């Protein structure tokens, strides 16, 4: 697609060096995922289906992009939409919206993408508005996700940056039986009200089983973020959690995120244990494990609440729910 001398298309191998320059121009060398600075890695990610980029070109220069990629979710059919970047001289021309529209109308249907999610940074509302126009709905907020250093070059934030979690459904999945922690029953019913999933909700009253807790851990040392994806939860959950926190802190992490299965009858017990250690609500994550997930989060510092900019009434309500829950677990 070509408009006003800007070409919008799926990235090709020849574009990889330009993509690297795009990141360098906007973020310097501070983007926390370092593979974006390697043209060969950029090409490999697209060729193996790990990441698809929709780029905007002006002549021989890559001037903007959006991307769809597999990330924290263990479900390979769930892609994250993000890394929307436009060179400063090309902003306010609708380039981000054009890339998103091309991806959703042309490229992603051809790639048979079933569902996507995204983290819309909250130091501005541009990405949030673009997601809303595409039909995405808000499901949570990750406090202090991104380090302030990522925004030094553009001077667009005075502290760490939160992200609004948004989901977009392309192909409906079968309804699920989900277990709601009693503490979060009202909050989760509200979060699920944005889309008719046809799920059945029951109260989580089971205790954690004797089995060992098993999880995946991702450490983003440059961003000071640790993510604990809890694939199986057992009675040793507390010991497992404290050990992973200790290891993460040793690598400089101060933002902890835990991902739990809402299809687990004992998820309520797990939530209670996390809340005893100052974890609080983050949001819901449709199809995160193929079945739905629950995000909980913990900060070792005070969050940069003043730096959060939100677009919709729903997102403001979600933020208030999260702040209220955090206030109940801080001791």
The model's pLDDT over 16-52, given as tens digits with 9 standing for 90+, comes to 999 999 999 998 988 878 999 999 999 999 999 999 9
**Average per-residue pLDDT for the chain:** 93
Closest CA to 140 of 304, 270, 298, 297: 297
| Mean pLDDT calculated for residue range 264-293 | 98
Q: Is residue 100 predicted with pLDDT exceeding 80?
A: yes
Give 153-193 pLDDT, tens digit per residue.
Answer: 655 556 899 999 999 999 889 999 999 999 999 999 999 99
Place of tokens 């790990």: 50
Residues 99 and 65 sit within 8 Å (Cβ to Cβ): yes
How far is the C-alpha of 259 from the C-alpha of 296, rounded, in Å? Answer: 7
What are the structural domains, with CATH classification, of the chain? 2-169 (3.40.630.30), 177-329 (3.40.630.30)
pTM for this predicted structure:
0.87
**167 membership: H or E segment, kind and range:** strand 161-169
Query: 77 forms bridges with which residues in the sheet?
Result: none
């Amino acid at each position: 697609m070509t408009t006003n001398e800007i070409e919008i298309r799926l990235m090709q191998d020849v574009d990889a060096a330009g993509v690297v320059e795009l990141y360098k121009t906007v973020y310097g060398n501070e983007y926390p995922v370092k593979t974006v600075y390697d043209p060969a890695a950029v090409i490999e990610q697209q060729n193996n289906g790990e990441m698809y980029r929709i780029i905007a070109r002006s002549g021989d220069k890559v001037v903007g992009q959006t991307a769809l990629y597999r990330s924290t979710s263990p479900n390979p059919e769930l892609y994250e939409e993000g890394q929307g970047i436009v060179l400063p001289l090309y902003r306010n021309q609708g380039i981000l919206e054009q890339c998103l529209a091309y991806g959703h109308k042309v490229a992603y249907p051809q790639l048979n993408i079933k569902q996507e999610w995204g983290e819309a940074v909250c130091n501005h509302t541009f990405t949030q508005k673009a997601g809303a126009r595409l039909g995405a709905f808000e499901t949570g907020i990750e406090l202090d996700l991104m380090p302030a250093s990522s925004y030094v070059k553009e001077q667009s934030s005075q502290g760490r940056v939160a992200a609004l979690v948004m989901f977009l459904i392309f192909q409906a999945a079968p309804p699920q039986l989900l277990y709601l922690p009693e503490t979060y029953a009202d909050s989760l019913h509200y979060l699920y009200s944005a889309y008719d999933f046809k799920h059945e909700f029951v109260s989580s009253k089971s205790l954690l089983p004797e089995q060992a807790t098993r999880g995946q851990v991702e450490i983003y040392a440059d961003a000071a973020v640790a993510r604990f994806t809890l694939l199986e939860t057992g009675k040793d959950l507390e010991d497992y959690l404290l050990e992973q926190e200790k290891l993460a802190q040793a690598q400089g992490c101060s933002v902890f995120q835990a991902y739990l299965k809402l299809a687990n009858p004992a998820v309520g017990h797990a939530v209670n244990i996390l809340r005893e250690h100052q974890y609080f609500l983050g949001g819901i994550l449709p199809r995160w494990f193929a079945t739905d997930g629950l995000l909980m989060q913990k900060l070792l510092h005070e969050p940069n609440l003043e730096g959060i900019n939100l677009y919709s009434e729903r997102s403001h309500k979600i933020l208030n729910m999260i702040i209220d829950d955090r206030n109940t677990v801080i001791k």
